[in-house]
């Protein structure tokens, strides 16, 4: 599917006419549509390979034909998964034309397309900032969902008794954080490179000629916007590091809690054993088959034995309880 609009008034345009200041969006292009794009735009073949490759990481490159950026973000961040989505941006500074290619539906791009209300001439690059800012928001949504999951784990730490499942969940989230952290790091490097080439994005030919004052002002504004995205991605990166440390602490505390539970069980068993130890001794003494044992011939010998058993057990239990050993 190929659609196009004017960056100035958002009206649909015929993208094959070579008009300036337009946005052409391509989703899951067919071979016929790729041929049409190749005839209408100067597309570097290396950039097209990256744009059509599943799983391509975020990267930035300046080609003679255009400026190229692959921006890989999260597809379902609210579900706390590392499934990704990609948008490949081809920027033509001379004509202020943006070509976006994606292999699947991307929510934030569709939302930007629906809500886009046009830009004044000379500020078309702000559309790129809007796309990058909304793409980076998916990482913030992931960190928020991860914090909610961490709180759930902290609450379950004192109620769950199946430690194997609990530890497995923590290791799963730690592995997830490592994957997303790598995504954020690559995206940050790509956007930072985009920011460093703000003059080229603004339309400077980059061939040694001094840019005009208007281009310099525009480049400074573009760099400022892109640095804002870089700062947001850095915040996400730091937040992920903090979340990984929190999960490690949760795992250590969980191990301590489980060890405390084991100690309570061992203490209870020890107390019970200590209570039955003198009872076993008395039963052993009275169970010996000696001929002269006066207790065996008493009329109330059986009652005395049970009274002794109960008295010793209750006495030891009270003593252990008083010493907080039980």
Could you state, in order of their start, the residue ranges of all structural domains in the chain?
2-259, 260-322
**Which CATH number, 3.30.450.20, 3.30.460.20, 3.90.1010.10, 3.40.30.10, labels domain 2-259?**
3.30.460.20
Q: In which residue are the tokens 């916007």 written?
A: 225
Q: What is the reported pLDDT for 235?
A: 92
Q: What is the reported pLDDT for 234?
A: 92
CA distances from 46 to 49, 70, 97, 160 (A): 5, 12, 20, 52
Q: In which residue are the tokens 């991307």 written?
A: 106
Cβ neighbours of residue 7 closer than 8 Å, sequence gap 6 or more? 21, 22, 23, 96, 98, 118, 119, 124, 127
| pLDDT, one tens digit for every residue, the chain (326 residues) | 888 888 888 787 888 777 888 888 999 888 888 888 888 888 888 988 888 888 788 899 989 888 899 999 888 888 888 888 899 999 888 888 889 999 888 888 989 888 888 776 556 778 888 899 999 999 999 989 888 888 888 777 777 666 667 778 888 888 888 999 999 999 999 999 888 887 666 665 555 455 667 667 777 777 888 888 999 999 999 988 888 888 888 878 777 777 777 777 787 778 788 778 887 887 777 777 766 677 667 777 778 777 888 888 888 778 777 777 66
Q: Which strands, in side-by-side order, build the sheet including 59-62?
A: 2-6, 22-27, 97-102, 84-92, 67-74, 59-62
Distance CA 222, CA 218 (A): 6
Phi-psi category of 67—alpha, beta or left, where left has phi over 0 and alpha has psi -120 to 50? Answer: beta
Helix (H) or strand (E) holding 4: strand 2-6
Same fold, 2-259 and 260-322: no
For domain 260-322, which architecture applies?
Up-down Bundle (1.20)
CA distances from 289 to 29, 141, 285 (A): 97, 79, 9
Cβ neighbours of residue 305 closer than 8 Å, sequence gap 6 or more? 282, 286, 295
Cβ neighbours of residue 20 closer than 8 Å, sequence gap 6 or more? 95, 96, 97
Distance CA 14, CA 23 (A): 11
């Amino acid at each position: 599917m190929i659609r196009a609009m004017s960056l100035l008034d958002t009206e649909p345009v015929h993208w094959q006419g070579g008009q300036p200041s337009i946005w052409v969006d391509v989703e899951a292009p067919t071979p016929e549509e790729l041929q049409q794009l190749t005839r209408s735009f100067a597309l570097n073949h290396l950039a097209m390979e990256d744009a059509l490759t599943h799983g391509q990481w975020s990267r930035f490159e300046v080609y003679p034909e255009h400026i190229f950026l692959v921006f890989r973000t999260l597809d379902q961040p609210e579900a706390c998964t590392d499934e990704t989505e990609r948008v490949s941006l081809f920027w033509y500074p001379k004509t202020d034309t943006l070509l976006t290619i994606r292999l699947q539906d991307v929510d934030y791009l569709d939302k930007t397309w629906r809500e886009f209300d046009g830009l004044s001439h000379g500020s078309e690059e702000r559309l790129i900032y809007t796309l990058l800012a909304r793409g980076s928001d998916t990482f913030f949504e992931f960190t928020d969902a991860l914090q909610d999951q961490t709180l759930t784990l902290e609450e379950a730490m004192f109620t769950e008794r199946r430690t194997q499942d609990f530890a497995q969940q923590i290791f799963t989230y730690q592995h997830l954080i490592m994957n997303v952290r790598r995504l954020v790091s690559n995206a940050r490097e790509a956007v930072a490179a985009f920011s460093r080439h703000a003059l080229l994005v603004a339309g400077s030919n980059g061939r040694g000629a001094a840019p005009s004052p208007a281009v310099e002002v525009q480049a400074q504004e573009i760099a400022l916007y892109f640095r804002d995205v870089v700062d947001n991605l850095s915040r996400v990166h730091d937040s992920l590091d903090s979340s990984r440390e929190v999960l490690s602490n949760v795992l250590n505390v969980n191990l301590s809690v489980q060890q405390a539970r084991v100690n309570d069980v061992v203490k209870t068993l020890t107390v019970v054993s200590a209570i039955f130890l003198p009872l076993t001794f008395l039963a052993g003494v009275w169970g010996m088959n000696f001929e002269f044992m006066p207790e065996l011939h008493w009329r109330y010998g059986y009652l005395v034995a049970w009274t002794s058993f109960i008295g010793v057990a209750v006495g030891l239990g009270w003593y252990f309880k008083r010493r907080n050993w039980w």
